[in-house]
Amino acid sequence: MGLLNNHQTGGISGLVEKLSEKGLGDIANSWVGTGQNLPITPQQIQNTLGPDTINQFASKPGVNTDHASRQISNLLPKVVDKLTPGGQIPQGGLTSKGMDILKDLMK
């Protein structure tokens, strides 16, 4: 959720923009849109977010960066999809709603 609710990186719209800059705009837009979500690989996550960001996320639960990248690549499309109903990126904070969605996905 830190990735999607980070005002410094632009939240969901910043993430979509970053993925687009890396040539992955079709993938990111599929998560926001109302159709089927395209998958993203752990390697694509690593290339897009960079090693510092992946290390930051891996250190919190104490997992290695490969595991963190796999988890992010698995959950990110689902979370972005749930947070963008009707194909619209919401304005404002996402923390509470996003955490509820993550809890549901982790069951």
Give me the count of residues in the chain: 107
Residue 66 lies in a domain: yes
Residue 6 lies in a domain: no
User: Which residue in 8, 7, 28 sits closest to 18, CA to CA?
Assistant: 28
The pLDDT, as a whole number, for residue 11 is: 78
Please report, as a single letter, which amino acid is at residue 70. R
Helices 51-59 & 42-49 angle (0-180, nearest 10): 110
Q: Residue 23 belongs to a domain with what CATH number?
A: 1.10.10.690
Residue 63 lies in a domain: yes
Handedness of CA 67, 42, 20, 38 (dihedral sign): negative
Rounded distance between C-alpha atoms, residue 40 and residue 85, angstroms: 20
pLDDT in tens, the chain (107 residues): 566 666 556 778 888 899 999 999 999 999 999 889 999 999 999 999 889 888 888 887 788 999 999 999 998 899 888 888 888 777 655 545 555 655 565 55
The pLDDT, as a whole number, for residue 60 is: 79
